Chain A
Amino acid sequence: KAGVTQTPRYLIKTRGQQVTLSCSPISGHRSVSWYQQTPGQGLQFLFEYFSETQRNKGNFPGRFSGRQFSNSRSEMNVSTLELGDSALYLCASSLVGAGTDTQYFGPGTRLTVL
């Protein structure tokens, strides 16, 4: 079974631009979560989608948004990029149900904002 895939793997943008990152979950997984990882703040939860609906949201500004499609693939968008948005963005997928809580992470998208 293929793992979680994320595209692109690397991105370089300038301040003020916007960016869209994509995540394809493991086949059959309907929950997709996004995390931001920085050296200073560590791993922080952005949001989680299940069946095309956002179920949970972390403490990030409205510039960070996401969506999920009917095939469970998810995208996140960051508008008006700031230098502090430079980070590794990770998505994770999981089955939802008793005893199936393991979250499987993709390799991440490394975003650099200049």
Chain B
Amino acid sequence: KQEVTQIPAALSVPEGENLVLNCSFTDSAIYNLQWFRQDPGKGLTSLLLIQSSQREQTSGRLNASLDKSSGRSTLYIAASQPGDSATYLCAVKKGAQKLVFGQGTRLTINP
């Protein structure tokens, strides 16, 4: 059974810092991995999707990497801003459309 773990559960940093969020998964036979952000009481916003054949994806200040063999992904956020405060979730997909989610990292950027 696929399990996804995100560490840390919560992170608070001052504005302007670069930071890394971690995601690990137990079954390396994944189809892809997706990072989302969720604002309080809202739905999920897709940030980046990495196919199993890829090593990383970039969008603006965000960079996500994937090491399938070790079952790890990282989301790097450069020059953090207060608007980046949210819960960040990673999810892996194996085969069909079912996503298995981690519990998320609650990120707070302090002005």
What residues make up the interface of A, taking CB atoms closer than 8 Å to B? 4, 31, 33, 35, 42-45, 48, 50, 55-56, 58, 88, 90, 92, 94, 96, 99, 101-108, 110
Main secondary structure, interface of B, reads strand
B43 touches A (CB below 8 Å): yes
B46 and A105 contacting across the interface, CB-CB below 8 Å = yes
**In this complex, what residue of B is CB-closest to A104?**
B46
CB-defined A-B contacts under 8 Å, sample of 22: A33-B97, A33-B98, A42-B103, A43-B89, A43-B91, A45-B98, A45-B100, A48-B97, A56-B97, A56-B98, A88-B41, A92-B44, A92-B99, A101-B51, A102-B34, A102-B49, A103-B34, A103-B46, A105-B43, A105-B45, A107-B43, A108-B43
* Chain B neighbourhood of A48, CB < 8 A: 96-98
Q: Is the interface of A mostly helix, strand, loop or mixed?
A: strand
Of the four ranges (under 10, 10 to 19, 20 to 34, 35 or more), the interface on chain B belongs to: 20 to 34
Task: Decide: A101 and B93 in contact? CB cutoff 8 A.
Answer: yes
Cβ-based interface call for B76 (8 A): no
- Asked if B43 and A110 make an inter-chain contact with CB atoms under 8 angstroms apart, the answer reads no
Task: Indicate if the CB atoms of B96 and A56 lie closer than 8 Å.
Answer: yes
Cβ–Cβ contact A90 & B44, under 8 A: yes
Q: How far is the CB of A92 from chain B (nearest CB, A)?
A: 8
Residues on A with beta carbons closer than 8 Å to the beta carbon of B103:
42
Q: Is the CB of B88 closer than 8 A to any CB of chain A?
A: no
